[in-house]
Amino acid sequence: MNNDYLNTKGRIFDIQRFSVHDGPGVRTIIFLKGCFLRCKWCCNPESQKFDIEKMVVDGKEKIIGRDVTVADIMEEIEKDRIYYRRSGGGVTLSGGESLRQPEFAAALLRACKEKGINTAIESTGCASFDKIEMILPYLDLYLMDIKHTNSEKHRQFTMQPNELILENAKKIAEKAKKLIIRAPVIPTFNDTENEIRDIAKFAKTLPGVDELHLLPYHRLGEDKYEGLGRNYELHSLELIPDEHIQRLKTVVESEGLKCQIGG
């Protein structure tokens, strides 16, 4: 077999081992650098630019981003295979947006599948569909964000309209092995019952989709903005009370979808 794809290069900024989020079981999360969106609430602002950059962490300058090959990452992944087997876990590509580096993402997912490892991606689906088609054959689970059904509001908070994302969601639903929709719930953006209902109604139209995850707003990434010399625009937002998130869960369930709070 030609193993050249193992030499495919990509740019990551972190690897998180032993995660119990973003897919089933115990997972290794690979964070790819670069994203097409600029969500105001983004908790990984260091992921957004593809360029390698500097961020001040605990008073010290840290280089964010490194170039690796698929083979380099597979060496890391091999260390955790025993945990995947025992827990039904695997590898999740996150970011950033993996579709910013489709050749690398596809080669990495392919390498995992060659080893029988479960694969997932956390993605906005904001890319031309030919890029998405490159990764689908090697993917067990597509975790796709639908942040808002109103394109103008989507653009105000993420710097991108949503038409391409909604269109891709339909195509992904038809072709992916499994698709789960996720909605970050952000005060002043999409935290009303009507807005979450609209997302649930859209998700319900997607063939095979029976699950929607609500990801409540948090500000764990706020310090990173300062470290990057950037302004965190949402500092005046309050966290969402648990009763309200539970109400939104009921709204999703009333549309006939299973609902989980958190990833």
Q: What are the distances in angstroms from CA 195 to CA 63, 151, 237, 251?
A: 39, 12, 18, 10
Closest among 214, 180, 218 to 197, alpha carbons compared: 214
Beta bridge partners of 30: 15, 93
Pick 210 or 222: Cβ nearer ligand SF4: 222
Stretch that binds ligand SF4, among 55-63, 68-76, 90-98, 108-116 (CB under 6 A): 90-98
Q: Does 44 bind ligand SF4 (CB under 6 A)?
A: yes
User: Which one of 26, 32, 42, 185 is in contact with ligand SF4 (CB under 6 A)?
Assistant: 42
The nearest distance, CB 259 to ligand SF4, in angstroms, is: 21
Q: Does 121 bind ligand SF4 (CB under 6 A)?
A: no
Q: Does 22 bind ligand SF4 (CB under 6 A)?
A: no
Q: Does 48 bind ligand SF4 (CB under 6 A)?
A: yes
User: Which one of 22, 46, 97, 191 is in contact with ligand SF4 (CB under 6 A)?
Assistant: 97
Q: Does 55 bind ligand SF4 (CB under 6 A)?
A: no
Q: How far apart are the first and last CA of the chain?
A: 37
The nearest distance, CB 159 to ligand SF4, in angstroms, is: 8
Q: Does 39 bind ligand SF4 (CB under 6 A)?
A: yes
Closest among 199, 197, 192, 195 to 240, alpha carbons compared: 192
User: Which one of 30, 35, 91, 105 is in contact with ligand SF4 (CB under 6 A)?
Assistant: 35
Number of Cβ atoms within 10 Å of the Cβ of 224: 20
Closest among 46, 40, 47 to 186, alpha carbons compared: 40
Question: Long-range CB contacts (< 8 A, 24+ apart) of 65-69?
Answer: 65/11, 65/12, 65/13, 65/33, 66/11, 66/12, 66/13, 67/9, 67/10, 67/11, 68/9, 68/10, 68/11, 68/12, 69/6, 69/7, 69/8, 69/9, 69/10
Q: Does 38 bind ligand SF4 (CB under 6 A)?
A: yes
The nearest distance, CB 115 to ligand SF4, in angstroms, is: 27
Q: Does 105 bind ligand SF4 (CB under 6 A)?
A: no
Residue 45 tokens, joined: 């602002």
The nearest distance, CB 126 to ligand SF4, in angstroms, is: 8
Q: Does 124 bind ligand SF4 (CB under 6 A)?
A: yes
Pick 97 or 195: Cβ nearer ligand SF4: 97
Closest among 80, 79, 88 to 24, alpha carbons compared: 88
Q: Does 134 bind ligand SF4 (CB under 6 A)?
A: no
Q: Does 96 bind ligand SF4 (CB under 6 A)?
A: yes
Asked if residues 39 and 146 have their Cβ atoms less than 8 Å apart, the reply is: no
Q: How many CA atoms does the CB half-sphere of 185 hold within 13 Å? A: 30
The nearest distance, CB 172 to ligand SF4, in angstroms, is: 16
User: Which one of 12, 14, 30, 47 is in contact with ligand SF4 (CB under 6 A)?
Assistant: 47
Binding residues for ligand SF4, rule: CB under 6 A, are 35, 37-39, 42, 44, 47-48, 95-97, 124
